[in-house]
Amino acid sequence: NFNEHTGRILKLKINSNSDKFLSTSTDGTVRVWDLVQDVGSDRTPSPRERQESYSEFWPSSVENVGEKSFWIISHSGPVLWASFAQSPTSNIMTSVSHPSVLTVWDGSSIKWNLEENGAKSCELCNGDLYVVVGGSEQVSIYDIDLAYLLHHLNWKVNLALYNTR
């Protein structure tokens, strides 16, 4: 039964084809939603299909605003961030979940995962060859196929330097 998240939604992102979007949640899942196919009669019409005026953005005649997801990707903790591949033909996705786990997915299957201390966000880049992971005072770049760390940058801001007293 593919229904809505059971926790707070933390991130929404649309893919490059604009035919899918993903949502991340405190319930420990990434859900990928189809924006094109009518996968259930309880699908909420898009604003383009439904909106007649701004005062009726969510019309009272729509009782069930839930939509069916077609991929549910489970994690061990809240999912802070996720991203789609840049290529419209790729099923690669990345996610960062608490506590600091970076996961690379091929569709709904895990390609690889690892602990990236302090990770809070991730994006695929350079033709989906690399994943850039950002977090508390650091950035890391991994090769997507090999799960190999290419670069790691750390920085700390010394606030004492900015103290004017």
Could you tell me if residue 69 is inside a domain? yes
Domain count, the chain: 1
Could you tell me if residue 23 is inside a domain? yes
Could you tell me if residue 1 is inside a domain? no
How many other CB atoms sit within 10 Å of the CB of residue 120? 15
Could you tell me if residue 4 is inside a domain? no
Assess contact for 67 and 42: CB atoms under 8 A: yes
Q: Considering the entire predicted model, what is its pTM?
A: 0.72
Could you tell me if residue 113 is inside a domain? yes
Distance separating alpha carbons of residues 7 and 127, to the nearest angstrom = 33
What's the average model confidence in pLDDT over 66-92? Answer: 81
Could you tell me if residue 2 is inside a domain? no
Could you tell me if residue 3 is inside a domain? no
State the CATH number of the domain containing residue 51: 2.130.10.10
How many other CB atoms sit within 10 Å of the CB of residue 20? 19
Q: Which of 4-13, 52-61, 103-112, 127-136 has the lowest mean pLDDT?
A: 52-61
Which position has the higher pLDDT, 163 or 77? Answer: 77
Each residue of 42-52: pLDDT tens digit? Answer: 555 555 555 44
Could you tell me if residue 83 is inside a domain? yes
Buried b / exposed e along 124-157 (16+ C-beta atoms within 10 A): beeebebbbbbbeebebbbebeeeeeeeeeeeee
Q: Which amino acid is at 34?
A: D
Distance separating alpha carbons of residues 7 and 78, to the nearest angstrom = 9
| Domain limits for position 154 | 9-162
pLDDT at 99: 86
